[in-house]
Structure 1
Amino acid sequence: MTIFSFYIFDRHCECIYHQDFKRPQRQLRPKVSSKRLSKDGGVTAITEDFKMVSVEDDAKLVFGVVFSLRNMITKLAGEKEQFFLYRTSKYKLHFYETPSNLRFVLVTDPEVDSLRIILEQIYIGLYVEYVAKNALAPTEHAGGAGVNNELFSLGLDRFLRPLAIFD
């Protein structure tokens, strides 16, 4: 099983923690298109400037997928149905939401079985122990301040390493 990345979103829809494990090559996205005109008025070349997809953009896209799918499932199937995972041909997105509206997302390769139990264990065993019970940690992560806890990061790495293939 290959784990690509892990995200935690707070109740204000902000990404408060992100960790990449093994990520496919980042895509380049078109930023600006420009046309060069020849002397006779015809277009000789079209060039595009490309930029790397940032971690913040990735987090926004991941949350957008989760938010949209949750809303769609609620509208189509009712309040009792829940969203746990989403699969494409390239990746699988595993989702766990806590009672306090923290959202844990794990992105893996598509052949992996559901990791909802793993996300629940990360919340109970690592997040609650090292972040929520930490009197010095902020309870709100306003202004982009995320989870900055070395014990949580090390514990997460130790927890996920035996489960994953890291090349």
Structure 2
Amino acid sequence: MTVYSFYIFDRHAECIYKRRWLPRPVSTSGKASRSNSELPGVNNGVPKSADRPARSADDDAKLVFGTVFSLRNMVRKLGGEDDSFISYRTSQYKLHYYETPTNIKFVMLTDTKSPSMRVALQQIYVNLYVEYVVKNPLSPIEHPGGVGVNNELFEESLEQFVTRVLA
């Protein structure tokens, strides 16, 4: 299983953490794809088209959050409050979603063949985020203006979790 990227959004819809591991594979059909399957589009091996401007990492995070927000709302309207959005898959990637009781949102993009990562995202929240970010007295409670998570122990532990546990 391959993990492409990981995002954390706070309750104010700000991306407080983003990390990319591998570029998403380029379509082998010979033509550039113009779909949303190219979400992490900057510096990831996707050929840039002359008529399509390059996106920054912040734009990618906004696109990911907008996608998750829209799909989550659609699932709640169609299925009721008890239904929840867990993941969706395109031909290029699979997006996994986990939301905590405090409205912190964890999003992971993986290859299409990966199983559900809901338990893994929950483990990242409980064992890494809570331990190294929430319980850290130097870490801010709120992240105004998208200041983000800047914790070396969290980043190292996340790297180990993704490379060893999820590999």
Q: TM-score range by the shorter chain?
A: 0.7 to 0.9
2:140 alignment partner in structure 1: 138
Q: What code does the residue aligned with 1:107 have?
A: L
Conserved 8 A contact 2:11-2:102: yes
Identity of aligned residues (%): 55
**Distance change >3 Å, CA 26–CA 141, structure 1 → 2:** farther
1:52 Cα deviation after fit:
2.1
Q: What code does the residue aligned with 1:126 have?
A: L
Q: What code does the residue aligned with 2:144 have?
A: A
Q: What code does the residue aligned with 1:141 have?
A: H
Whether 1:83 and 2:88 are equivalent positions in the alignment is: no
- Superposition TM-score, scaled by structure 2 size: 0.84
Q: What code does the residue aligned with 1:11 have?
A: R
2:115 alignment partner in structure 1: 113
Higher strand proportion: 1
Runs (5+) with no aligned partner, structure 2: 25-44
Conserved 8 A contact 2:3-2:111: yes
- Superposition TM-score, scaled by structure 1 size: 0.84
- The total of aligned residue pairs comes to 147
**Distance change >3 Å, CA 102–CA 27, structure 1 → 2:** farther
1:22-79 deviation line (CA, Å, top 9, x unaligned): 012245366xxxxxxxxxxxxxxxxx4x532210011001001100000000111110
CA distance in 1, matches of 2:46, 2:137: 37
2:33 alignment partner in structure 1: none
1:144 Cα deviation after fit:
2.1
2:70 alignment partner in structure 1: 68
Q: Which has the larger radius of gyration?
A: 1
